[in-house]
Amino acid sequence: MELAISLLIIAVTGLVVYAIIKTNPAKPMQLPARPATPYEPALPEGAPALHWSDDGRFLVEVVNESRYQATLKALAGDHGEQAAAAPYLATLVPDDVNPYESAAVAVFLGGRMTGYLSPKASLTFRALLKHKEIEGRITSCEAQVRGGGVWQNGRLSYVVVLDMEPLEK
């Protein structure tokens, strides 16, 4: 008897689920339109409001460099088969109009876009700007383009590291 009741409950549940699905079909989710060209912020004019330093430790890594590998290769210069460690002055730009991330911070080297701070690091960085009363202003720090060495018959990717105190704990 218990088996019959269990089977009846399963059958009724199946019919209810089937009825819900048939009367309420899933509609495809509309994705936002992608711009014809990828978004890239412009480097604003003007002197940085502050220069950050962590005494040459270079512990903050820039993210999204995969899109900028050609730029980073050019910035790294000729370094043969060894990994690059090309020094630059980085410009950090709060990107308030970024369509993908509301608190983005863009990183420029030599006037060229090279990536962003991670989302978590961007929030911490913006809080630091606010604390120092320079919210929304551009700042700078020393940077290095590293990588690109030859390993197992191929070149490794390039990365950008910044000489500023770690922003993620």
For the chain, the domains span 51-162
For residue 11, the model assigns a pLDDT of 79
Q: Which residues pair with 112 in a beta bridge?
A: 109
Instruction: Look up residue 116 and give its two tokens.
Output: 């962003």
Q: What letter represents residue 43's amino acid?
A: L
CB 106 within 8 A of CB 63: no
Report DSSP state, residue 65: G
CB 92 within 8 A of CB 140: yes
Spatial distance between the Cα atoms of 91 and 10, rounded to a whole number of angstroms = 63
Does this model's pTM top 0.85? no
Helix (H) or strand (E) holding 16: helix 2-23
For residue 64, the model assigns a pLDDT of 81
Q: Is the Cα torsion angle 24, 25, 30, 31 positive or negative in sign?
A: positive
Return the CATH number of the domain spanning residue range 51-162.
Answer: 3.30.70
pLDDT in tens, 48-100: 999 999 999 999 999 987 889 999 999 999 999 999 999 999 999 999 999 88
Angle at 73 between CA 146 and CA 169, to 5 degrees: 35
pLDDT in tens, 7-34: 778 878 877 777 777 776 666 667 666 6
